[in-house]
Structure formats: structure tokens, C-alpha cells
Amino acid sequence: MPEMRFAVRWPDGAETSHYSPSLVMHDYLVTGLRYPLQEFVSRTKEALDVASDRVREKYGFACTSAMASQEKIAANAAAYTDGDVTVLSMEPPLPGDTA
């Protein structure tokens, strides 16, 4: 199962990197786009739930690293009342993606 990391910039300019056990993040986020804070949290939670479920289906247990990423994102988001989160990078890119 392909793993990936995605980097984001928070409303105050802080940058963080997060892990997903699946490339499913590409279905929920686009590199270079800005998302309102709550939309970003919602999208990443849903994507990481899907990724963890894929791990459960394949290996019989949920992905604790995906859950840790969710917790880190929620903790970071709690520091802001609003603003946008920018997706800086998603590695690896989708096959055939030249962006």
C-alpha cells in the first residue's frame, strides 16, 4: 500500500508535515489550493479515516499513524479561530501527475 506525506501552511504561516498510509489524500486535497480551516480539518479527517480503513481491510487493524496525523491536525487547528490552510506538497504525486 503506497504511503505519502503532505505538507501544509497554517493561517499564521507555520508549516507542518503529515503522514497518510494511502494516496487517498489526492482525492481530498490539491497541492497549491487554500482551504478554509474547518473544511481542511473535515477533508483530512475523512481522508485519513478512509486510509485507515484501507489498512484495516488489508492487515486487520487500523492505522495508528493515520490517527496520529488526525490528532496532530486537530491540535494545530485548535490554535486558530479561522483562516485558510494551504496544501504545499503531496508526496508522492499521483502517477502521471506532472504538476
Domains of the chain by residue range = 4-91
Collapsing DSSP states into helix, strand and coil, what is residue 32?
A: coil
Nearest to 33 by CA among 6, 52, 72: 6
CB atoms within 10 A of CB 82: 8
Q: How does pLDDT run across 2-43, given as a tens digit for each residue?
A: 789 999 999 999 999 999 998 999 999 999 999 999 999 999
Our CA dihedral for 8, 80, 68, 26, rounded to 10 degrees, sits at -40
CA gap 59, 98 in Å, rounded: 32
* Amino acid at position 77, single letter: A
Q: How does pLDDT run across 33-63, given as a tens digit for each residue?
A: 999 999 999 999 999 999 999 888 988 988 8
pTM score, two decimals? 0.89
